[in-house]
Structure 1
Amino acid sequence: MRQVGIPHPRLPLPEAEDDLAAFLQWLEEAIPMVSAMGIREMQREEGTLIWDLSLVPNLNDKGTGFGGGLTAQTTLLGWCWVTLWLRRQGIQRDVVVAEASQRFLAPVTSDYRLVCKPVEDDAAKRLAEQLDKKGRGRISLTQQLWCGDTLCLEASGDYAVLK
């Protein structure tokens, strides 16, 4: 059981490609609310991190997606993108969200997909350069929530990698 003020042990760096199922299991232990978020699957595609989620755990009083829960998911997805990117570089560092915003475009009425990627194509390269020069860095990511072909939510966040 997690205790306030006690950091959760870091997941060891992978010897090869990260096992996303093992990472998700660790994430559920490290951040207890993750197990209630409805994440069914985590996958990677060419610099993009994707979650498939169930709507049921995130229902609001109107029977659609709860904005606060969806916001937490977009923020955490960005954190995961940076953490997994660092792991592929062989780096163990703390990641924090520095700034985040959301724009709700349509109600979330069914199971959905969250997609996260850097705002700019060369953002990961610039983050690597910042880490080499300063030992810390920052990256801007964008998250989109899709119900089928409908874009329901756009979010963005700046994530800081600490020394």
Structure 2
Amino acid sequence: MITCRTPKTKKEFEQYYYLRWLILRSPWGKERGSELDNLEDQAIHRAIFDQKGNAIAVGRLHFTNENQAQIRYMAVADTAQGSGMGKCLLDSLEAEAQKRGATLIELNAREVALAFYLKSGYQNMGKAHLLYGDIQHYAMTKKLSVLLTHRSKQAKNLMDVWHKTIPLSKAMNINIGYYDGLELVTHCDPMFNKNLHNTMFAGSIYTLATLTGWGWVYLLLQNSHCHGDIVLAEGNIKYLAPINGVSCAKTEQLLVDGSTEHLVENGKAKMTISVNVYSGDTVAAKFIGKYVVINKEKNQC
């Protein structure tokens, strides 16, 4: 089975980088390592693996600011050329960019790839750099729609509540990139939330995670037509890696324990929600929050 996903093991990442080097660097006599840059740890990596587990197409996405991302290092193995692998890879990277709040994608395309990107909806903005004095690149951009799915009204209501009642959420510019009832993805302004080490401030990571969990409870109440005050009773976080670039926080139905089932009968409901905060593909922090919903009027649900 052919799959498009993030490489998981050391062996898969070795294949990923090797194919990048083989297609994009080796023909010009560049040594191994020239295919890497200093953004690998904050990037989103995708590869297509064939039935035997071999990488046949690779590509990378990284954010340049909260709402803008760049695609780089797109490469398809010679044996997979013309099979649609490049389009599959591009679609996967664009979808992840949308989930994390990107409204604009930019890339620098080699002249031989211009037709491919034009067909995929990118605009040619003119000549960019000349790589190795030989390979002409062209700057290309594509606008993306804000991806909130059919739940966009509830998500927008939540953002209004955050920004109107929690001043820090507005200062951090916490927003929702994606919500479909099963998954919630949030993001914030990377520049405002940096510390003296130029990484994301631990307090900002905690706040983003806390409000993501709080937001899940709020949206659950909205979808259940229930009312109640949401309180964080306990929050624990583990910081696993620094966040150097743009981060996002994610939670989903599988990471939630509890429901609003007893809210009417008892006037109170408890939920435990796990939230992962990401730097690119890397889980940089794990948060577990215990939330209590208090229904002051038991018949309002």
Q: Which TM-score tier does this pair reach, normalised by the shorter chain?
A: 0.7 to 0.9
- Of the three residues 231, 236, 247, the one matched with 1:112 is 247
- Counterparts of 1:151 and 1:78, CA distance in 2: 16
Look up the match of 1:140: 272
Structural mapping, 1:4-83, within 5 Å: 17=151, 18-83=153-218
Number of the residue aligned with 1:9: none
Q: Which amino acid aligns with 1:138?
A: K
TM-score (norm 2): 0.45
Deviation at 1:38, TM superposition (A): 3.0
In 1, Cα distance between equivalents of 2:246 and 2:228: 33
More relative contact order, 1 or 2 (CA 8 Å, 6+ apart): 1
Q: How much has 1:45 moved relative to structure 2?
A: 3.5
Q: In structure 2, how many angstroms separate the alpha carbons of the residues matched to 1:120 and 1:54?
A: 25
State how far apart, in whole Å, the 1-side matches of 2:215 and 2:193 are. 19
Mapped partners of 2:255, 2:204: distance in 1: 26
Indicate conservation of the 8 Å contact 1:79/1:97, yes or no. Answer: yes
* Residue equivalent to 1:130: 262
Partner-residue secondary structure (3-state), 1:21? helix
More divergent stretch after superposition (69-78 vs 127-136): 127-136
Q: Which amino acid is 2:195 matched to?
A: N
Tell me the residue number matched to 1:10. Answer: none
Moved over 6 A (4+): none
Is 1:154 the counterpart of 2:286 in the alignment? Answer: yes
Give 1:74 shift.
0.9
Structure 2 residue 227 is the aligned partner of structure 1 residue 92: yes
- How many residue pairs get aligned? The number is 145
- Counterpart contact for 2:158–2:218, Cα < 8 Å: no
1:134/1:112 CA distance change after superposition, 3 Å: same
1:144/1:133 CA distance change after superposition, 3 Å: same
> Residue 199 of structure 2 aligns to which amino acid in structure 1?
T
Q: CA deviation at 1:147?
A: 1.4
Report the CA distance shift for 1:82/1:38 in structure 2 as closer, same or farther (over 3 A). Answer: same
Offset of residue 42 of structure 1 = 3.6
Contact 1:119–1:140 (Cα < 8 Å) also in 2 = no
What SS is found at the alignment partner of 2:244?
Answer: coil
The equivalent position to 2:237 in structure 1, one of 75, 93, 102, is 102
| 1:94-141 alpha-carbon deviations (Å, 9 max, x no partner) | 0000100000010000101100235656x3xx4232224312110000
Opposite residue 261 of structure 2, the aligned amino acid is E
Answer yes or no: is the 8 Å Cα contact 2:188–2:248 preserved in 1: yes
Q: Provide the alpha-carbon RMSD of the alignment.
A: 2.1
Amino acid of the structure 2 residue aligned with 1:64: T
Which consecutive unaligned segments of at least 5 residues does structure 1 have? 1-15
> Does structure 1 conserve the Cα–Cα contact (< 8 Å) formed by 2:274 and 2:289?
yes
Once the two structures are aligned, what percentage of the paired residues are identical?
24
Structure 2 unaligned residues grouped into runs of 5+: 1-149, 296-301
Whole-Å Cα distance in 1 between the matches of residues 242 and 255 of structure 2?
Answer: 28
Task: Name the SS for the 2:220 alignment partner.
Answer: helix
